[in-house]
Amino acid sequence: MSDYRYLKVESYDDNAIVRVVLNRPETRNAQNRGLLIELDEAFRAAESDDQVRVVILAGAGPSFSAGHDLGSEDRKRESTPGPEQHVSYRTNGATCPGAESRHRQEWHYYWQNTKRWRELRKITVAEVHGNVFSAGLMLMWACDLIVAADDTRFADVVATRLGMCGVEYFAHPWEFGPRLAKELLLTGDAIDAERAYSLGMVSKVFPADALHDQTLAFARRLAELPTMTSLLVKDSVNHSVDAMGFQTALNTAFALHELNHAHWAEVSGGKTYNGTPEFGVPDWRTRGGVGWAEKDRP
């Protein structure tokens, strides 16, 4: 495993289990381009190692991931032309005009990579805690199983804070169910780990202070199964979901997401690709906290 700037990689049981940790705690593991590129490298490294049976994806600090990085110093530095600009901001459509640039960039770095991680030739377990917001959901949903701390909150706030119709890997109706997906997107409210467990989205709920050890114990159970059996189980379930239309729905939702960006770019005269206060969308920087989706709350 290589050294990473934005990740920590840990190995257990003679490398049978690899734990990849998002390591930007100061930003609540917001996903800048460098982190996403490194995550793909770490997943591919684990995939290529025949000793690895299970990959755990976790996050350092108070939250698993607060979503896309919209403005940290790392984000500004890697996207601004100059000696520290990340190469990905000069390739894969980045230099193309109009909507093509954003469409191709997001296709590569927000959507296609997430779909690839879903098909990783290992069993993957998301170990989540704190806030799992917006694009944080994408990373979690790409994993085969999800284990949550009892303090976890799940929400997608991009509609209420950015005027967008959801994140690029739009698994919401499949993970939440259609009506709850609409409610959570239209309100920006959150559900807790217990409700996520009742939906079948989360497999295990552990006390926050025991999450690491209990997830590792769970991964050890999964690692006992022969790898061929594990992968055929994984593929049998994934292909069943695909036969129900999952991939077609993802393709359509991604196209609508890009249309949403193009709309804001057009109405703003190219100044922004998200909704802003002048167009009736509250400023995401100053908007209050995320509330709970409760049955008796208007």
Mean pLDDT of 52-78: 97
| Distance in angstroms (rounded) separating the CA atoms of residues 113 and 142 | 10
pLDDT value at 284 more than 80: yes
Which contiguous run of DSSP H or E holds residue 252?
helix 246-267
Report strand pairing: 191-192 vs 153-155: antiparallel
DSSP letter assigned to residue 67: S
Write the pLDDT tens digit of every residue in 145-189.
999 999 999 999 999 999 999 999 999 999 999 999 999 999 999
Which burial class, exposed, middle or buried, applies to 257 when counting CB atoms under 10 A from its CB (0-12, 13-18, 19+)? buried
Closest listed residue to residue 184, CA positions, set 111, 275, 291, 257: 291
At residue 288, the pLDDT reads 81
Report strand pairing: 204-206 vs 145-149: parallel
pTM higher than 0.85 for the full model? yes
Instruction: Name the amino acid, one letter, at 297.
Output: R
Name, in order, each residue with C-beta under 8 angstroms of 187's C-beta and a sequence gap of 6 or more.
Answer: 160, 291, 293
Write the pLDDT tens digit of every residue in 90-116.
999 999 999 999 999 999 999 999 999
The answer to whether 135 and 171 are in contact (CB under 8 A) is no
Which contiguous run of DSSP H or E holds residue 10?
strand 7-12
At residue 2, the pLDDT reads 63
pLDDT value at 131 more than 60: yes
Distance of CA 242 to the CA centre of its chain: 19
| Distance in angstroms (rounded) separating the CA atoms of residues 65 and 150 | 16
> HSE (CB half, 13 Å, CA atoms) of 97?
0
Query: Token pair for residue 27?
Result: 């930003």
| Distance in angstroms (rounded) separating the CA atoms of residues 246 and 240 | 9
| Distance in angstroms (rounded) separating the CA atoms of residues 127 and 150 | 12
Radius of gyration over every alpha carbon of the chain, rounded to an integer in angstroms: 19
At residue 120, the pLDDT reads 98
